[in-house]
């Protein structure tokens, strides 16, 4: 565990700014090497994906059309794991207004999600009373799961890029478009996060 915190501290000190970034769709980053800007992605790519729940049930994310989503790659043995508490607080605060968190466990960053589906489910429910949907482990690096290929490569240019660590958050509007990205150190209850959520929800 101490090694985990040391690794996190080291990475944070090197890339603190990027780990705290909040990116909003429609505000593109400058193109690299003088290349022409890439046209924004179109279509409802996120909710076109099919995923599996922790119980192994295959479902289409299209069932969440009409809801505002916060998609998060989670881990049970990370220095950022306590963010589960704030994710659940968001769920409780906004669920009645058409919002839900979707948790996607991932073992790609420091091998910090080694458990089975049952172990993940038990940990999240017993320690953090998680009520939002959790899904089977995904790959967010290398040979990416289709959903994470979309999230990192096929969305608005301002939001694209490799995931740096656990608990990167993607905000998705009711039509399935990714509209904001919050890097790992941006906590779920950060005013920048809640402000963007509030913009998408019915008043």
Q: Which residue numbers are catalytic?
A: 78
DSSP for 58-126, please give it: EEEGGGGTTSEEEEEEE-SSSTTTTHHHHHHHHHHHHGGGTEEEEEEEB-TTTT---S-HHHHHHHHHH
Three state DSSP letters for 110-136: CCCCCCCHHHHHHHHHHHHCCCCCEEC
Cα distance between residue 97 and residue 44, in whole Å:
21
Residue 107 CB neighbour total at 10 angstroms: 19
Helix, strand, or coil (residue 149): helix
């Amino acid at each position: 565990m101490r090694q985990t915190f040391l690794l996190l501290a080291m990475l944070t000190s090197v890339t603190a700014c990027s780990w705290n970034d909040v990116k909003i769709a429609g505000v593109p980053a400058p193109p690299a090497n003088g290349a022409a800007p890439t046209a924004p992605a179109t279509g409802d790519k996120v909710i076109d994906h099919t995923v599996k729940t922790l119980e192994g049930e295959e479902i289409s994310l299209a069932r969440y059309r009409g809801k505002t989503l916060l998609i998060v790659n989670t881990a049970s043995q990370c220095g950022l794991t306590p963010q589960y508490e704030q994710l659940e607080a968001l769920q409780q605060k906004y669920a009645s207004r058409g919002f839900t968190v979707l948790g996607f466990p991932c073992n790609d960053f420091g091998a910090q999600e080694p458990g089975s589906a049952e172990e993940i489910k038990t940990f999240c429910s017993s320690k953090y009373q998680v009520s939002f949907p959790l899904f089977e482990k995904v790959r967010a690096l290398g040979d990416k799961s289709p959903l994470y290929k979309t999230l990192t490569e096929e969305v608005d240019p301002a939001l694209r890029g490799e995931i740096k660590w656990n608990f990167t958050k993607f905000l998705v509007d009711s039509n399935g478009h990714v509209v904001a990205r919050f890097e790992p150190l941006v906590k779920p209850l950060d005013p920048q996060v809640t402000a963007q959520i509030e913009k998408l929800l019915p008043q």
